[in-house]
Structure 1
């Protein structure tokens, strides 16, 4: 059976998966699949789920916040800030949802902080203008 090697890489993780038979992911153009012998390819993966199958027939699901995929000479490299991997679709979906909610909350915290900073800057500029200070 034709296989390829999958390299899953993040800032804190590296997983080598030998004897991979297929990979299914999505980019801006939609879903795509990769089999052994595929031509050279590079794409930016969309936020969400991908999956790969090993030679023994097991499927593994990957959740990640987007990433870069590069395939060359039966070596598939997937680079992302972080990723989750699991054989259970329900568990990985829940993990992805939790990751999305956590990132959403962090983004809202940053937006709130920037809004307060902007309001404080305008307040100080207004006070300087009222007191005849120079900008």
Structure 2
């Protein structure tokens, strides 16, 4: 079976496999598969698991991601995402993705609280400046 290249990119690292024989992912229209020689293709991957097979072994490797962009061109599939996990164990990779999403949600809640507190403090100080400033024309 013919192979194609798969490049996985996030802000901290890049993984390249040149022996991929199939890739299965999901976008807003549902699941899709890619084989070597596929036409040019671009889609937004949704939260969840994708999987691929290589010519080196008979097993499936799972790719967990929160979301990402997948392009296929010149027999190369490229996935760009904020972060991804690779594992051959579906349950373990699902737990890793779930944990990462929970941590990011907690970080986002904390950032919103900090932004709210900063806004409140700025408004309080502006109000105080307005009260202490001498009025013009008096």
Q: TM-score, normalised by structure 1?
A: 0.88
Q: Secondary structure in 1 aligned to 2:8?
A: strand
Distance in 2 separating the partners of 1:7 and 1:50: 14
Which protein is bigger by CA-based radius of gyration?
A: 2
**Number of residue pairs aligned between Structure 1 and Structure 2:** 134
Q: Alpha carbon RMSD of aligned pairs, Å? A: 1.7
> CA offset at residue 30 of structure 1?
2.5
Aligned positions of 1:72-111 closer than 5 A: 72-111=73-112
Distance in 1 separating the partners of 2:134 and 2:35: 68
Preserved contact between residue 13 and residue 82 of structure 1 (Cα < 8 Å): no
Structure 2: which 5+ residue stretches go unaligned? none
> CA offset at residue 133 of structure 1?
5.6
- Give the corresponding residue for 2:3: 3
Aligned positions of 1:36-115 closer than 5 A: 36-55=36-55, 56-115=57-116
Distance in 1 separating the partners of 2:134 and 2:109: 34
Distance in 2 separating the partners of 1:89 and 1:133: 68
Residues 37-82 of structure 1 show CA distances to partners (whole Å, capped at 9, x for unaligned) of: 2111012222322111122321111112322211112211112222
Distance in 1 separating the partners of 2:30 and 2:123: 44
Structure 1: which 5+ residue stretches go unaligned? none
Q: TM-score, normalised by structure 2?
A: 0.87
Distance in 1 separating the partners of 2:131 and 2:110: 32
> CA offset at residue 84 of structure 1?
0.7
> CA offset at residue 4 of structure 1?
1.3
Q: Secondary structure in 2 aligned to 1:99?
A: helix
Residues 77-111 of structure 1 show CA distances to partners (whole Å, capped at 9, x for unaligned) of: 11222211000001000000111011001101110
